[in-house]
């Protein structure tokens, strides 16, 4: 292998940081230059990821493009990167969504430089999680992504809105949302941090491939507890951290707030990629490190997932704020991801597990596309109307027909219409989960029904019904830059709906090796 | 004879301080430039010592030894190992940045820099001393100028009280430690204050049982160990900015380091006996300090109590009695020193302009002082233990050390139930979230949001020197977080030395 291939992952991982540092030295007043530079900077990891995609051997087992360098030798943690089919799909998703999100934020004119730098740093944080093969490095990237997101919400979030706190203090809504996001996530990952420390003390290493072997086969007594009990506690520490990130009911309450207050591009990345970090944590860490516990508690996790699916759909239907509606739809859709994970954990070693897990990873990818698309479209409408209140729209279809068509298309993909991407993955999850979690799956169908209801409610309240006269003559049709953001997403949704094989081919081999 | 680089580091500040006193007081600019020159020179030498130290060889290097009072076994004996070389570097860094940000002091800058430099000599001296007598000698040199610096140049409201409180606490602590140290001198029967010789003295367990708490606690007062910590926030708040930087950044390390060097390394069995007490007190430091910091409304008090909490982590790592815990404690001393120097520099710059430190009254500072805001945020992330910054690199092994402390080979005296140490680690981890919440609150309230109308026009931008100081400190914090191998192997080699004394190398 040549030098370039050997260090391809490092190149992908750090190219956004390098681009961010370049931005640091550009003049702050040149807003156009900064935007274009950030966009080009985010195209570099995309180009490199495409190279990675084509050089990746889908038929090989195990991790590819592995790199290992000394990092923290005193505690045996090394900078170990590598990808398999699952992480490759996620890297591709991140690399696709970031340039689009940056393009979507060309309308930002307040402190463009800081905004773009944070965005690029965020991309490195996300990519790092998907590439890490070292538990400590995983945690480093998992946490570091919080910082840019916190500031994106806190500084560039919606400027209006207030929240009354417990105790009567009134704070700006974006302050409340960003604080909640940060402290919730940090609080939940505290257990993860402690469990990682414990694993480090017990195993003496943080290297994942090594832990897959040594940690799972560990026996004896640790800290006065039987290893099975230690693992159960650590399992829940991991599970809660990732469940909050996904998020599943009842850990989801930070999500609607964060989404509602975040700037459009922030929401796109938050829903598109950040939520996937939690699901990816389940797949990369929880299932391989705690196969027995995951199998034992699969029912409980599936229950949470079903609650997320049902309540997510109901809550979404009940919203009058367009962005909150889409935010709750994320809870609903990510529920299927967790359902698939639970099914795979329960039936590991069978065909069902493989099908469910294929569906899960594909659903992660699909939800990334459709949620980013939906949040973008909500943002486009908000930019024009400065309201997100569904009751204030109505009958906009004739005023902005192109936008209307795009919104319907994206909504249908989100709803899971056959022929578009969402259908394939949800079908696979349900097909894989049905034989092993029949009751759960059956109940989740209620949620699926209401998915249709809230999606149609969103379309109806914005596009159909009597025209709200206020908007006549004031609405601009979607412009070229905005089309440039949404069209690639639509193309991918359609492509994955018609022929999911190109992506499943990569995912399937890895999933079969892990869960077959 | 080799070039006496350590002596030059130790005495350059003293010589510079004394020379400054000879310059006519009205030549303020010359005084500042001379002070900066001396600080830069010292920093360069300490960088040279840091990178010149060969951790592959380990042990004490750059050693110098001259008889001083041979009749009593006192010698001038200095050297660095993997634990104090980073601290020498830290002192150089804090001294240099402290001079940079004190450029604007116009109340008797000559005397100010002179006292600051005498203080620096004391600090350098304690870190490099290998002779117990020398260590006390420099220790007192470090404490005394502090009194004057706070009482003369401090915050008018509390300076007399704070200076008096600080000095009394520290003197009482050092007297108690001195009693223990003299006990060692006589009990060893070696007739020497040479610490390398005393390491081999094999004190009886009965002697160690009473000498250890005196020596360790005596020094730990300066390290801010609960319940002897309450001089420290008061002192931090009253001190002028550069002195606060020195105080929290370096002086508190002096206490922790001396407690390690004299207490734990010379009386290892005593340390093993008293380890649960230290662990428990440090746990209170960590958690209680964080909660107290959370409820403060004075910007500087928040940082002051956060220092108590973070210095508690140093003690926590030492009390874990394990290799990883020691490594973490060594890293935390350096990381916290740089971080808190950055904090106090930033607080000082805000206070100089806003003339208030009440958090509810501040707001929107970031707009006028972007560099202060960004560097403070970086310091804040270090403080929360955010991965990717030096705080994480230091705190993670401390926690790991406590997790594994129950079964550490050098923790021979106590046989806890196996769940005790993990439980302590879990309780201490609460502080991470508490720290995150108060840091976020400050960042949001002080640096963002609406700027109160009365500050319009008062928040003038900071000078280039201030920017250099802040960016320099922030860069170190990031570099260390991304590349822990810049310092960890060195600290590890120092820890080997400590473990050897505990018989568990």
* Burial tier of B142 (Cβ tally within 10 Å: 0-12, 13-18, 19+): buried
In a mutational test of the A interface, the residue from B366, B387, B490 whose CB has the highest number of chain A CBs within 10 Å is B387
| Helical packing angle, A501-515 and A351-385, nearest 10° | 130
Cβ distance A70 to B417 less than 8 Å, yes or no, reads no
What was the pLDDT predicted at B364? 80
Residue with tokens 């107290």: B292
Cα–Cα distance between B377 and B381 in angstroms, integer?
6
pLDDT over 70 percentage in chain B: 99
Residue range B158-198, pLDDT digits in tens: 888 888 888 888 888 888 888 888 888 888 877 788 888 88
Give the pLDDT confidence score for residue A374 in this predicted structure. 92
Report the pLDDT value the prediction gives residue A95, as an integer from 0 to 100: 93
8 A C-beta contact, residue B193 and residue B132: yes
Per-residue pLDDT reduced to its tens digit, A366-400: 999 999 999 999 999 888 888 888 888 888 888 88
pTM: 0.90
Query: Is residue B145 pLDDT above 80, yes or no?
Result: yes
Residue A109 above 60 pLDDT?
A: yes
Shortest CB distance from B400 goes to which of A175, A200, A223?
A200
Residue whose token pair is 């956004």:
A16
Quote the minimal CA–CA distance from A200 to chain B in Å: 7
Distance CA B219, CA B203 (A): 20
Residue A97, pLDDT > 90, answer yes
User: Which has more pLDDT, A48 or B232?
Assistant: A48
Helix (H) or strand (E) holding A163: strand A162-164
Residues 26-85, chain B, touching A (beta carbon < 8 A): none
pLDDT at position A342? 92
Subunit contact B440:A198, Cβ cutoff 8 A: no
- Measured CA to CA, the distance from residue A348 to residue A418 in angstroms comes to 28
CA angle A282, B391, B465 (to 5 degrees): 135
Identity of the residue in B396, B419, B485 whose CB atom sits nearest the CB atom of A224: B419
Each residue of B389-420: pLDDT tens digit?
Answer: 998 999 999 998 888 877 777 777 677 777 78
- Complex ipTM: 0.86
Of A143, A179, A224, the CB nearest to B387: A143
Residue A90 predicted with pLDDT over 60: yes
pLDDT digits 0-9 by tens, B218-246:
888 888 888 888 888 888 888 888 888 88
Question: Which position has the higher pLDDT, B354 or A334?
Answer: A334
Percent of chain B whose pLDDT exceeds 90: 14
Average pLDDT, chain A: 88
pLDDT of residue B504: 59
Residues in chain B: 505
Model confidence over B61-82: pLDDT tens digits?
A: 888 888 888 888 888 888 888 8
Contact flag B489-A74 (C-beta cutoff 8 Å): yes
Q: How many domains does chain B have?
A: 1
- CA-to-CA distance for B262 and B440, rounded, in angstroms? 38
CA A128/CA A144 separation, integer angstroms: 10
> How would residue A213 be classed by pLDDT, with cut points 50, 70 and 90?
confident
Within 8 A of B430 by CB-CB distance, chain A residues are 190
What are the backbone dihedrals phi and psi of residue A225, each rounded to the nearest 5 degrees, phi first? Answer: -120, 155
| Contacts (Cβ under 8 Å, ≥6 apart) of A388 | A260, A321, A322, A323, A324, A378, A381, A382
- Closest chain A C-alpha to B338 CA, distance in angstroms: 20
Residue A46: band (very low, low, confident or very high) from pLDDT cuts 50, 70, 90: very high
For chain B, the average pLDDT equals: 86
Query: Residues B286, B288, B294, B297: is their CA dihedral positive or negative?
Result: negative
Chain A nearest CA to B53, separation (Å):
18
Give the separation between CA A336 and CA B215, rounded to whole angstroms: 61
Three-class DSSP category at A87: helix
pLDDT score of A182? 87
Question: Which of A163-167, A458-462, B475-479, B493-497 has maximum average pLDDT?
Answer: B475-479
User: Structural domain of residue B451, as residue ranges?
Assistant: 5-501
Section B280-301 average pLDDT:
89
Residue-wise pLDDT tens digits, B110-119: 888 888 888 8
Among chain A residues, the shortest Cα distance to B450 is held by A172
Residue B106 predicted with pLDDT over 80: no
Q: What is the mean pLDDT of residues A164-190?
A: 83
- CA separation, residue A353 to residues A58, A508, A512 (Å): 19, 11, 9
- The pLDDT of residue A218 is 79
Secondary structure of A416-436 in the HEC alphabet?
A: CCECEHHHHHHHHHHHHHCCC
Shortest CA gap A74–chain B (Å): 7
Handedness of CA A298, A299, A300, A306 (dihedral sign): positive
Q: Of B112, B85, B110, which is closest to residue B98 (Cα–Cα)?
A: B112
Confidence category of residue A297, pLDDT binned at 50, 70, 90: very high
- Among B14, B40, B55, smallest CA distance to B491 is for B55
Instruction: Look at A44-58, A193-207, A211-225, A494-508 and tell me which has the smallest mean pLDDT.
Output: A211-225
pLDDT above 50 for B1 = no
């Amino acid at each position: 292998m040549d030098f370039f291939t050997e260090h391809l992952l490092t190149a992908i991982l750090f190219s956004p940081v390098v681009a961010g540092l370049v931005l640091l030295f550009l003049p702050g007043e040149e807003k156009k230059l900064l935007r274009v530079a950030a966009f080009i900077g985010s195209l570099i990891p995309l180009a490199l990821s495409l190279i990675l995609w084509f050089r990746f051997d889908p038929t090989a087992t195990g991790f590819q493009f592995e790199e290992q360098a000394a990092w923290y030798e005193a505690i045996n943690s090394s900078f170990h990167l590598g990808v398999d089919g699952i992480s490759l799909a996620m890297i591709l998703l991140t690399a696709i969504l970031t340039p689009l999100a940056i393009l979507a934020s060309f309308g930002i004119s307040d402190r463009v430089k800081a905004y773009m730098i944070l965005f690029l740093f965020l991309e490195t944080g996300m990519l790092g999680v998907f590439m890490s093969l070292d538990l400590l490095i995983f945690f480093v990237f998992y946490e570091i992504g919080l910082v840019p997101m916190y500031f994106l919400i806190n500084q560039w979030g919606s400027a209006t809105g207030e929240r009354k706190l417990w105790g009567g203090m009134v704070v700006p809504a974006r302050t409340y949302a960003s604080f909640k996001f940060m402290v919730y996530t940090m609080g939940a990952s505290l257990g993860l941090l402690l469990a990682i420390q414990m694993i480090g003390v017990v195993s003496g290493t943080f290297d994942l491939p090594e832990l897959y072997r040594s940690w799972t086969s560990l026996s004896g007594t640790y800290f006065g507890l039987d290893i099975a009990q230690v693992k159960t506690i650590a399992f829940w520490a991991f599970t809660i951290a990732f469940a909050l990130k996904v998020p599943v009911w009842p850990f989801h309450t930070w999500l609607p707030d964060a989404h509602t207050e975040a700037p459009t591009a922030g929401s796109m990345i938050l829903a598109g990629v950040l939520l996937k970090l939690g699901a990816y944590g389940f797949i990369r860490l929880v299932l391989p490190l705690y196969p027995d516990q995951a199998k034992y508690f699969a029912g409980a996790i599936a229950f949470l997932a079903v609650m997320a699916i049902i309540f997510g759909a109901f809550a979404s239907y009940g919203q009058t704020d367009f962005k909150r509606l889409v935010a709750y739809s994320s809870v609903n859709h990510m529920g299927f991801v967790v359902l698939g994970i639970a099914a795979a954990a329960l039936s590991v070693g069978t065909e069902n597990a493989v099908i469910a897990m294929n569906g899960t990873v594909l659903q992660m990818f699909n939800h990334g596309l459709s949620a980013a698309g939906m949040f973008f479209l909500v943002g486009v409408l908000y930019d024009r109307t400065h309201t997100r209140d569904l009751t204030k729209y109505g009958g906009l279809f004739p005023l902005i027909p192109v936008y209307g068509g795009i919104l319907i298309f994206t909504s249908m993909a989100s709803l899971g219409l056959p022929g578009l991407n969402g259908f394939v993955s949800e079908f696979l999850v349900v097909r894989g989960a049905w034989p092993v979690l029949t009751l759960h799956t059956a109940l989740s169908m209620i949620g699926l029904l209401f998915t249709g209801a809230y999606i149609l409610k969103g379309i109806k309240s914005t596009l159909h019904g009597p025209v709200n006269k206020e908007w006549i003559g004031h609405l601009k049709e979607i412009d070229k830059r905005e089309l440039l953001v949404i069209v690639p997403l639509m193309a991918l949704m359609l492509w994955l709906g018609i022929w999911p094989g190109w992506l499943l081919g990569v995912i399937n081999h890895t999933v079969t090796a892990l869960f077959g | 004879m080799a070039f006496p680089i350590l002596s030059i580091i130790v005495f350059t500040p003293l010589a510079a301080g004394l020379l400054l006193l000879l310059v006519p007081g009205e030549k303020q600019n010359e005084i500042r430039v001379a002070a900066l020159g001396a600080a830069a020179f010292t920093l360069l030498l300490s960088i040279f010592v840091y990178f010149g130290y060969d951790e592959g060889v380990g042990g004490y290097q750059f050693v110098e030894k001259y008889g001083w009072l041979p009749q009593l076994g006192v010698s001038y004996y200095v050297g660095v190992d993997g634990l104090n070389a980073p601290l020498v570097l830290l002192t150089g860094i804090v001294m240099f940045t402290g001079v940079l940000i004190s450029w604007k002091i116009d109340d008797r800058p000559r005397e100010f820099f002179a006292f600051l430099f005498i203080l620096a000599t004391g600090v350098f001296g304690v870190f490099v001393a290998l002779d117990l007598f020398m260590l006390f000698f420099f220790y007192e040199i470090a404490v005394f100028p502090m009194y004057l610096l706070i009482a003369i140049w401090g915050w008018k409201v509390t300076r007399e009280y704070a200076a008096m409180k600080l000095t009394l606490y520290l003197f009482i602590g050092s007297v108690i430690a001195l009693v223990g140290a003299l006990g060692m001198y006589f009990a060893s029967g070696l007739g020497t204050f040479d610490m390398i010789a005393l390491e081999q003295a094999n004190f009886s367990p009965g002697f160690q049982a009473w000498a250890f708490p005196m020596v360790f606690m005596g020094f730990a007062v300066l390290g801010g160990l609960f319940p002897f910590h309450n001089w420290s926030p008061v002192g931090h708040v009253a001190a002028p900015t550069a002195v606060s930087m020195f105080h929290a950044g370096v002086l508190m390390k002096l206490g922790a380091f001396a407690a390690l060097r004299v207490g734990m390394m010379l009386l290892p069995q005593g340390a093993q006996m008293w380890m649960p007490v230290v662990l428990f007190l440090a746990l209170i430091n960590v958690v209680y300090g964080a909660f107290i910091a959370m409820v403060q409304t004075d910007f500087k008090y928040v940082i002051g109590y956060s220092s108590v909490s973070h210095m508690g982590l140093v003690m926590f790592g030492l009390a874990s009695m394990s290799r990883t815990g020691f490594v973490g404690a060594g890293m935390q001393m350096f990381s916290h020193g740089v971080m808190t120097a950055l904090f106090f520099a930033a607080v000082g710059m805000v206070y100089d302009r806003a003339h208030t430190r009440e958090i509810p009254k501040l707001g929107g500072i970031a707009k006028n002082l972007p560099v202060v805001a960004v560097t403070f945020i970086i310091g804040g992330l270090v403080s929360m233990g955010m991965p990717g910054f030096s705080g994480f690199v230091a705190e993670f092994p401390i926690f790991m050390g406590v997790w594994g402390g129950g079964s550490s080979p050098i923790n021979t005296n106590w046989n806890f139930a196996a769940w005790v140490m993990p439980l302590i680690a879990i309780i201490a981890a609460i502080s991470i979230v508490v720290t995150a919440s108060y840091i976020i609150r400050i960042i949001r309230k002080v640096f963002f949001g609406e700027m109160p109308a009365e500050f319009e026009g008062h928040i003038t931008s900071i000078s280039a020197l201030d920017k250099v100081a802040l960016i320099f400190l922030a860069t170190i914090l990031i570099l260390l977080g991304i590349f822990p191998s810049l310092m960890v192997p060195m600290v590890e080699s120092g820890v080997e030395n400590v473990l050897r004394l505990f018989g568990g190398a």
